Amino acid sequence: MSTSPSTSPGGFKAWLGRFTLKVLGWKSEGSPPEAPGYVIIAAPHTSNWDLIFLLAFAFRFGIKISWMGKQSLFRPPFGGFMRWLGGVPVDRSARHDMVQQMIAAFGLDPTLKLAVPPSGTRGFQPFWKTGFYHIARGAQVPVATGFLDYQRKAGGFGPPLIPSGDIEADMAILRAFYGPIQGKYPRNTNTIQIRPGDPAAAAPEGAKADQTQSAEREDQAPKA
């Protein structure tokens, strides 16, 4: 008996996610955390294709994710569609305290699933930003190890991480997990380490996240 969008478990989005991944030859691995809300590491982030696969896997797992995007993505005529996909417009030209805003968002909605690319850009950077860690620790939610491995055409979740407050030790755990995973453009894969001078390394018990803004390179939208 064939499965249709109207009858498959999880509804249309779940069917769309499974269909998209099947057509593109990808497989899913692991499962999301059992906690009602969590921060999802979106890594490696090297291409605009990552968002397409992130959404496909979210649909496949039946997760309603939220993700932060630059304001230009939400202009007409596609703004409504981007919000339907879970997008939240942010002003990257200003230095807002995004960590505290997202912690507050978890307070308002404990079921929030927030996807954050620690690299902060598709281009190479020799460090990860630590905002994802401080959001999770401040909101007292797990970190879900979401991944996209273009070499194996596999995506999904690894073991969740409960932030311990010792960010160096926790980053070592993440480094071991993400080390073998290959992004679409391996040369752009970021080094999983803390930026030198990040207060998180010196004061893991309560440091605010590094909010240094990095320039983002332009990248063409993915084409079929």
The DSSP secondary-structure symbol of 217 reads: -
| 46 touches 184 (CB < 8 A) | yes
Orientation of helix 131-139 relative to helix 98-108, angle to 10°: 30
Rounded Cα distance, 138 and 127, in Å: 22
Tokens linked to 24: 């593109």
Amino acid at 76: P
Instruction: Enumerate the domain spans of the chain.
Output: 11-66+101-202
CA 56 to CA 47: how far, in whole Å?
Answer: 15
Pull the structure tokens for residue 185: 């453009």
pLDDT tens, residue order, the chain (224 aa): 333 333 344 688 899 999 999 999 999 999 999 999 999 999 999 998 998 999 999 999 999 999 877 778 888 988 888 888 788 776 666 555 778 878 988 998 999 999 998 877 677 777 898 989 999 999 999 999 999 999 999 999 999 999 999 999 999 999 999 999 999 998 888 778 887 766 665 544 433 333 333 323 334 444 43
**Contact assessment for residue 217 and residue 124, using Cβ atoms and an 8 Å cutoff:** no
Answer whether 0.85 is exceeded by the pTM.
no
